[in-house]
Amino acid sequence: MNELSLKITNEQKHIPFTPVAKNLSVSEKQKMADVSKQFESLLTSMMLKSMNQTTGGMFGEDSFGGDFFDSIFQYEIADKISQGTGLGVADEIYKRLTGEKLSTEVLNPKLNPIIKQPKIEVTTSTLEIPLVKPSNQSLDRLSKYDEIIDHASETYGVDKNIIKSVILAESSAKENAVSTASAKGLMQIIDSTAKYLGINNVWDPKENIMGGAKYLSELLRKYNGNLKFALAGYNAGPGNVDKYNGIPPFTETQTYVKRVIGYLKNFEEPKNVL
């Protein structure tokens, strides 16, 4: 973003910009991020209002209640633009205030708990399930996300190889994958689940993986480390696992559980596989 040169006619009416000290707490950074985004949203709304005035508004000059609805739409559109990639204004303000780049961790605290969760021990035996070797192409795609997967694993206590295996089974590591049920991204997350997990952009690989890992973590803890039950819950929903007191009698779910565990065995050393 280029520097803006502003003409100051009365220096007494302007407050000099002083960067805030670094080493802020996570909560303080999140407040800075919220303020930066709110300012960008306000600025975007003003820009939209200015543009609409030249065209008679979104609903026309003579429309009943047009002024009122124009304001509502301008605000909502501006808010959505700001919550996405935005205009870059919030990023620059946040950087000036904190000395750091505005990151996903700050924008989405739900996906990045301050206290990392302990590693979840998996207890289910998987001896009867054969190893499944993924294609080299899918492994190459998956390798691009190693750093994000490691971060998700450390944050939520889910074995990184479980996360990798779910990604392979869900999308073959294709970040733009969409299922017939409108599940999206690397870990195939539907919109309602994305909202529950605090995911703003389901297509962002980091948000998708962090959200999917968080959901896996919840399921593994719900079923006391029972990997088969957790995977069945991820595929068919925990309600169905609870209903049947185990893996539901759905061919798709039963095949899914075996596929994920088969991929998991491919990543693990034979001596470490239950």
Instruction: Return the active site residues.
Output: 170
d(CA 47, CA 41): 10
The CA-based dihedral angle spanning residues 219, 142, 265, 263, taken in that order and rounded to the nearest 10 degrees: 70
d(CA 150, CA 152): 5
Start-to-end C-alpha separation, the chain: 53
Beta-carbon count within 10 A of 230 CB: 30
Residue 176's SS3 state is coil
Beta bridge partners, 189, equal 184
199 and 225 in contact (C-beta within 8 Å)?
Answer: no
Residue with tokens 């869900």: 170
Query: 216 is written with which tokens?
Result: 């896996």
Q: Could you give the angle at which helices 205-222 and 227-236 cross, rounded to 10 degrees? A: 130
DSSP state of 184: B
Helix (H) or strand (E) holding 259: helix 251-267
Provide the sign of the torsion angle of the four alpha carbons 175, 177, 182, 187, taken in this order.
negative
